[in-house]
């Protein structure tokens, strides 16, 4: 299939598919006219990439671990490739820190709404 059909079938823009190609996540075959050609398996690969992006993984990490993804008709799983678990733990820890920072900011905002707030109470 051509890039437009893959875009239609996956709901991912042709621009994003070209980006995945640039990042070596999706490798099409070029026909004699230079057009990108994808086989049916590309649909699953694009879905895997999208799931990993939605989980907060960057394209470099996805490239390293895309081979760890297993998909069947109903769901996707990640094999625990070397270092994958540690990478996911680092992402989770970063999200925990960000969530704590947001909670602290919300507390400061709430304090500002309280009458007669002092600077020390906000900090």
Domain extents for the chain?
1-79, 82-123
2 vs 85: which has the higher pLDDT = 2
Rounded to two decimals, the pTM is 0.73
Between CA 26 and CA 37 the distance in angstroms is 11
DSSP 82: T
∠ CA(79), CA(85), CA(87), 5° rounding?
120
What is the average pLDDT across 51-79? 80
Q: What is the pLDDT of residue 78?
A: 66
Q: What is the total residue count of the chain?
A: 123
The CATH architecture one would assign to domain 1-79 is Orthogonal Bundle (1.10)
Residue 54 has pLDDT above 70, yes or no: yes
Which residues partner with 29 through β-bridges? Answer: 37
Q: What is the mean pLDDT of the chain?
A: 87
């Amino acid at each position: 299939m051509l890039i437009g059909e893959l875009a239609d079938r996956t709901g991912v823009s042709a621009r994003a598919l070209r980006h995945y190609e640039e990042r070596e996540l999706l490798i099409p075959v070029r026909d004699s006219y230079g057009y990108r050609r994808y086989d049916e398996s590309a649909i699953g690969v694009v879905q895997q990439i999208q799931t990993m992006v939605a989980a907060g993984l960057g394209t470099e990490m996805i490239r390293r671990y895309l081979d760890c993804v297993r998909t069947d008709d109903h769901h996707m799983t990640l094999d625990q490739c070397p270092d994958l678990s540690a990478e996911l733990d680092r992402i989770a820890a970063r999200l925990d820190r960000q969530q704590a920072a947001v909670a602290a900011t919300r507390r400061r905002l709430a304090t500002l709404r309280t009458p007669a707030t002092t600077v020390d109470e906000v900090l």
